[in-house]
Amino acid sequence: MFRRTAFAALAAVAALTFAGCGDDSPAASSSPSGSSSTSSTPAVSGSITVFAAASLTGTFTQLGKDFEAANPGVKVTFNFAGSSALAQQINQGAPADVFASAAPKNMDDVKEKGTATTFVQNTLEIAVPKGNPAKITGLKDFSDKSKKIALCAVQVPCGAAADKVFKAVGITPQPDSLEQDVKAALTKVSLGEVDAALVYKTDVLAAKGKVDGIEFPEANKAINEYPIATLTKAPNPDGAKAFVDYVLSDKGKAVLSAAGFDAPKS
Protein backbone atom coordinates (compact mmCIF):
# COMPACT_ATOMS: atom_id res chain seq x y z
CA MET A 1 0.00 0.00 0.00
CA PHE A 2 2.84 2.38 0.94
CA ARG A 3 4.70 1.58 -2.31
CA ARG A 4 1.59 2.29 -4.45
CA THR A 5 1.02 5.66 -2.66
CA ALA A 6 4.65 6.72 -3.05
CA PHE A 7 4.63 5.81 -6.73
CA ALA A 8 1.49 7.91 -7.35
CA ALA A 9 3.04 10.91 -5.60
CA LEU A 10 6.21 10.65 -7.68
CA ALA A 11 4.16 10.44 -10.89
CA ALA A 12 2.24 13.59 -9.97
CA VAL A 13 5.46 15.51 -9.33
CA ALA A 14 6.91 14.38 -12.65
CA ALA A 15 3.81 15.49 -14.51
CA LEU A 16 3.97 18.97 -12.98
CA THR A 17 7.68 19.26 -13.79
CA PHE A 18 7.12 18.23 -17.41
CA ALA A 19 4.32 20.77 -17.86
CA GLY A 20 6.50 23.57 -16.53
CA CYS A 21 9.33 22.78 -18.97
CA GLY A 22 7.23 22.68 -22.12
CA ASP A 23 8.60 26.01 -23.51
CA ASP A 24 11.70 27.94 -22.48
CA SER A 25 10.61 31.07 -24.48
CA PRO A 26 8.65 33.91 -22.82
CA ALA A 27 4.97 33.15 -22.57
CA ALA A 28 2.76 34.85 -25.17
CA SER A 29 -0.68 36.01 -24.11
CA SER A 30 -3.47 34.88 -26.37
CA SER A 31 -6.42 36.78 -27.65
CA PRO A 32 -9.91 35.25 -27.45
CA SER A 33 -9.50 34.12 -31.05
CA GLY A 34 -6.43 32.12 -30.12
CA SER A 35 -3.79 34.32 -31.79
CA SER A 36 -0.99 35.76 -29.69
CA SER A 37 -1.25 39.47 -28.92
CA THR A 38 1.49 41.53 -30.60
CA SER A 39 2.13 45.23 -31.04
CA SER A 40 -0.33 46.63 -33.59
CA THR A 41 -1.43 49.94 -35.00
CA PRO A 42 -3.05 51.99 -32.22
CA ALA A 43 -6.81 52.28 -32.43
CA VAL A 44 -7.93 55.48 -34.17
CA SER A 45 -9.83 57.87 -31.96
CA GLY A 46 -10.58 61.54 -31.43
CA SER A 47 -10.59 64.30 -34.01
CA ILE A 48 -8.41 64.56 -37.12
CA THR A 49 -7.85 67.94 -38.79
CA VAL A 50 -6.98 67.85 -42.48
CA PHE A 51 -5.77 70.88 -44.46
CA ALA A 52 -6.40 70.14 -48.15
CA ALA A 53 -6.24 71.96 -51.48
CA ALA A 54 -9.54 73.42 -52.67
CA SER A 55 -9.57 71.09 -55.68
CA LEU A 56 -9.82 68.16 -53.25
CA THR A 57 -13.03 69.41 -51.64
CA GLY A 58 -15.40 66.86 -53.13
CA THR A 59 -13.17 63.80 -52.93
CA PHE A 60 -11.79 64.44 -49.45
CA THR A 61 -15.25 65.21 -48.08
CA GLN A 62 -16.33 61.78 -49.33
CA LEU A 63 -13.16 60.12 -48.01
CA GLY A 64 -13.75 61.77 -44.64
CA LYS A 65 -17.25 60.31 -44.43
CA ASP A 66 -16.00 56.87 -45.45
CA PHE A 67 -13.16 57.03 -42.92
CA GLU A 68 -15.54 58.02 -40.12
CA ALA A 69 -17.85 55.14 -41.04
CA ALA A 70 -14.92 52.73 -40.82
CA ASN A 71 -13.81 54.21 -37.49
CA PRO A 72 -16.89 54.92 -35.32
CA GLY A 73 -16.46 57.85 -32.98
CA VAL A 74 -13.74 59.51 -35.05
CA LYS A 75 -14.38 63.02 -36.43
CA VAL A 76 -12.56 64.34 -39.51
CA THR A 77 -12.55 68.12 -39.90
CA PHE A 78 -11.38 69.78 -43.12
CA ASN A 79 -9.93 73.16 -44.01
CA PHE A 80 -10.10 73.62 -47.79
CA ALA A 81 -8.30 76.54 -49.42
CA GLY A 82 -5.51 77.41 -51.82
CA SER A 83 -2.41 75.35 -51.06
CA SER A 84 -0.23 78.42 -50.55
CA ALA A 85 -2.64 79.83 -47.96
CA LEU A 86 -2.81 76.49 -46.16
CA ALA A 87 0.98 76.19 -46.03
CA GLN A 88 1.19 79.67 -44.55
CA GLN A 89 -1.45 78.88 -41.93
CA ILE A 90 0.41 75.73 -40.87
CA ASN A 91 3.72 77.59 -40.62
CA GLN A 92 2.00 80.19 -38.46
CA GLY A 93 0.97 77.51 -35.98
CA ALA A 94 -2.53 76.49 -37.08
CA PRO A 95 -3.24 73.04 -35.55
CA ALA A 96 -3.41 70.42 -38.28
CA ASP A 97 -2.76 66.69 -38.52
CA VAL A 98 -2.53 66.22 -42.29
CA PHE A 99 -1.67 68.46 -45.25
CA ALA A 100 -2.63 67.58 -48.83
CA SER A 101 -1.29 70.07 -51.37
CA ALA A 102 -2.02 70.57 -55.05
CA ALA A 103 1.68 71.05 -55.79
CA PRO A 104 5.02 69.91 -54.32
CA LYS A 105 6.24 73.51 -53.91
CA ASN A 106 3.60 74.33 -51.32
CA MET A 107 4.31 71.12 -49.46
CA ASP A 108 8.02 71.99 -49.46
CA ASP A 109 7.16 75.35 -47.88
CA VAL A 110 5.77 73.62 -44.78
CA LYS A 111 8.48 73.34 -42.13
CA GLU A 112 6.84 70.79 -39.83
CA LYS A 113 5.96 68.07 -42.32
CA GLY A 114 6.63 64.37 -42.31
CA THR A 115 7.49 62.34 -45.39
CA ALA A 116 5.32 63.46 -48.31
CA THR A 117 3.83 60.98 -50.77
CA THR A 118 2.47 61.93 -54.21
CA PHE A 119 -0.97 60.37 -54.43
CA VAL A 120 -2.63 61.84 -57.56
CA GLN A 121 -2.06 64.05 -60.59
CA ASN A 122 -4.38 66.64 -62.13
CA THR A 123 -4.59 68.49 -65.45
CA LEU A 124 -5.90 71.91 -66.40
CA GLU A 125 -9.05 72.38 -68.46
CA ILE A 126 -10.90 75.43 -69.76
CA ALA A 127 -14.23 75.99 -68.01
CA VAL A 128 -16.94 78.04 -69.71
CA PRO A 129 -20.59 78.78 -68.84
CA LYS A 130 -23.14 76.28 -70.14
CA GLY A 131 -23.50 76.58 -73.89
CA ASN A 132 -20.22 78.53 -74.19
CA PRO A 133 -21.90 81.86 -75.07
CA ALA A 134 -18.58 83.64 -75.73
CA LYS A 135 -17.52 80.92 -78.18
CA ILE A 136 -14.26 80.14 -76.44
CA THR A 137 -12.19 77.67 -78.48
CA GLY A 138 -8.79 77.47 -76.80
CA LEU A 139 -5.96 79.18 -74.96
CA LYS A 140 -5.65 81.98 -77.53
CA ASP A 141 -8.94 83.41 -76.28
CA PHE A 142 -7.29 84.14 -72.92
CA SER A 143 -5.25 86.89 -74.61
CA ASP A 144 -8.38 88.52 -76.08
CA LYS A 145 -9.15 91.66 -74.07
CA SER A 146 -12.77 91.52 -75.20
CA LYS A 147 -13.26 88.27 -73.25
CA LYS A 148 -13.87 88.16 -69.53
CA ILE A 149 -11.30 85.82 -68.05
CA ALA A 150 -10.65 84.40 -64.57
CA LEU A 151 -7.39 82.77 -63.54
CA CYS A 152 -5.98 81.55 -60.26
CA ALA A 153 -3.33 83.77 -58.72
CA VAL A 154 0.16 82.54 -59.59
CA GLN A 155 0.88 81.84 -55.88
CA VAL A 156 -1.59 78.94 -55.87
CA PRO A 157 -0.97 75.69 -57.81
CA CYS A 158 -3.67 76.18 -60.46
CA GLY A 159 -2.29 79.66 -61.17
CA ALA A 160 1.30 78.45 -61.30
CA ALA A 161 0.29 75.69 -63.72
CA ALA A 162 -1.61 78.16 -65.92
CA ASP A 163 1.38 80.51 -65.95
CA LYS A 164 3.64 77.65 -67.03
CA VAL A 165 1.31 76.71 -69.88
CA PHE A 166 0.95 80.26 -71.15
CA LYS A 167 4.71 80.79 -71.15
CA ALA A 168 5.26 77.47 -72.92
CA VAL A 169 2.99 78.45 -75.81
CA GLY A 170 3.89 82.15 -75.91
CA ILE A 171 0.51 83.55 -74.89
CA THR A 172 0.08 86.58 -72.63
CA PRO A 173 -3.26 86.21 -70.83
CA GLN A 174 -5.50 89.17 -70.04
CA PRO A 175 -7.35 88.12 -66.86
CA ASP A 176 -10.12 90.23 -65.40
CA SER A 177 -9.74 88.55 -61.99
CA LEU A 178 -7.13 86.54 -60.13
CA GLU A 179 -8.61 84.12 -57.61
CA GLN A 180 -7.03 82.67 -54.46
CA ASP A 181 -8.19 79.12 -55.17
CA VAL A 182 -9.55 77.11 -58.05
CA LYS A 183 -13.08 76.85 -56.64
CA ALA A 184 -13.41 80.64 -56.68
CA ALA A 185 -12.42 80.73 -60.36
CA LEU A 186 -14.92 77.99 -61.15
CA THR A 187 -17.69 79.82 -59.28
CA LYS A 188 -17.25 82.88 -61.48
CA VAL A 189 -17.78 80.66 -64.51
CA SER A 190 -20.84 78.90 -63.13
CA LEU A 191 -22.42 82.27 -62.24
CA GLY A 192 -21.70 83.62 -65.74
CA GLU A 193 -19.49 86.40 -64.39
CA VAL A 194 -16.67 85.46 -66.77
CA ASP A 195 -16.48 83.88 -70.21
CA ALA A 196 -13.81 81.37 -69.26
CA ALA A 197 -11.39 80.24 -66.57
CA LEU A 198 -8.54 77.79 -66.31
CA VAL A 199 -9.35 75.17 -63.66
CA TYR A 200 -8.63 71.48 -63.17
CA LYS A 201 -10.51 68.84 -65.14
CA THR A 202 -11.68 67.42 -61.80
CA ASP A 203 -13.38 70.72 -61.00
CA VAL A 204 -15.30 70.65 -64.28
CA LEU A 205 -16.49 67.13 -63.43
CA ALA A 206 -17.38 68.17 -59.87
CA ALA A 207 -19.53 71.01 -61.22
CA LYS A 208 -21.89 68.30 -62.52
CA GLY A 209 -23.15 70.07 -65.61
CA LYS A 210 -23.15 73.63 -64.27
CA VAL A 211 -20.26 74.48 -66.62
CA ASP A 212 -18.83 73.09 -69.85
CA GLY A 213 -15.25 71.93 -70.17
CA ILE A 214 -12.88 72.39 -73.09
CA GLU A 215 -9.76 70.25 -73.19
CA PHE A 216 -6.62 71.65 -74.80
CA PRO A 217 -3.45 69.77 -75.78
CA GLU A 218 -1.09 72.26 -74.12
CA ALA A 219 -2.40 71.15 -70.70
CA ASN A 220 0.17 68.35 -70.75
CA LYS A 221 2.90 70.96 -70.31
CA ALA A 222 1.84 71.58 -66.70
CA ILE A 223 0.55 68.49 -64.89
CA ASN A 224 0.11 69.04 -61.17
CA GLU A 225 1.30 66.42 -58.71
CA TYR A 226 -0.48 66.27 -55.34
CA PRO A 227 1.55 65.29 -52.25
CA ILE A 228 0.10 64.36 -48.85
CA ALA A 229 1.90 64.18 -45.49
CA THR A 230 1.30 63.97 -41.77
CA LEU A 231 2.61 66.91 -39.75
CA THR A 232 5.32 66.42 -37.15
CA LYS A 233 3.38 68.47 -34.60
CA ALA A 234 0.06 66.79 -35.33
CA PRO A 235 -2.28 66.88 -32.29
CA ASN A 236 -3.46 63.38 -33.28
CA PRO A 237 -0.46 61.61 -34.89
CA ASP A 238 -2.06 58.15 -34.89
CA GLY A 239 -5.20 59.52 -36.49
CA ALA A 240 -3.12 61.47 -39.02
CA LYS A 241 -1.25 58.36 -40.13
CA ALA A 242 -4.45 56.34 -40.33
CA PHE A 243 -6.14 58.94 -42.54
CA VAL A 244 -3.16 59.22 -44.90
CA ASP A 245 -3.03 55.42 -45.14
CA TYR A 246 -6.74 55.44 -46.01
CA VAL A 247 -6.22 58.01 -48.79
CA LEU A 248 -3.43 55.82 -50.21
CA SER A 249 -5.48 52.62 -49.93
CA ASP A 250 -7.40 50.99 -52.77
CA LYS A 251 -10.62 52.47 -51.39
CA GLY A 252 -9.12 55.95 -51.42
CA LYS A 253 -7.73 55.50 -54.92
CA ALA A 254 -11.15 54.43 -56.18
CA VAL A 255 -12.81 57.63 -54.93
CA LEU A 256 -10.08 59.82 -56.39
CA SER A 257 -10.11 58.03 -59.74
CA ALA A 258 -13.89 58.36 -60.04
CA ALA A 259 -13.49 62.12 -59.58
CA GLY A 260 -11.11 62.34 -62.53
CA PHE A 261 -7.76 62.38 -60.77
CA ASP A 262 -4.96 60.41 -62.43
CA ALA A 263 -2.65 58.02 -60.64
CA PRO A 264 0.87 59.41 -60.19
CA LYS A 265 3.54 58.15 -62.51
CA SER A 266 5.79 55.62 -60.83
The share of the chain scoring above pLDDT 70, in percent, equals 84
Ranges of CATH 3.40.190.10 domains, the chain: 47-122+224-258, 124-221
Whether pTM exceeds 0.85: no
Q: What is the pLDDT of residue 43?
A: 79
Distance CA 96, CA 109 (A): 15
The fold adopted by the segment(s) 124-221 is D-Maltodextrin-Binding Protein; domain 2 (3.40.190)
Distance CA 98, CA 207 (A): 26
CATH assignment, 47-122+224-258:
3.40.190.10
Contact between 222 and 124 (Cβ < 8 Å)? yes
| CA-wise closest residue to 220 among 154, 165, 166 | 165
Higher-confidence position of 155 and 39: 155
pLDDT at 12 over 70: no
Give mean pLDDT, residues 97-103. Answer: 98
Of 8-22, 69-83, 162-176, 226-240, least confident by mean pLDDT is 8-22
Q: Is 223 helix (H, G, I), strand (E, B) or coil?
A: coil
Distance CA 165, CA 171 (A): 9
Of 38-42, 55-59, 141-145, 259-263, least confident by mean pLDDT is 38-42
How far CA 91 is from CA of 87, 88, 108, 237, 244, in Å, comes to: 6, 5, 11, 17, 20
- Give all strands of the β-sheet with 47-53 in edge-to-edge order: 75-81, 47-53, 98-100, 224-230, 117-122
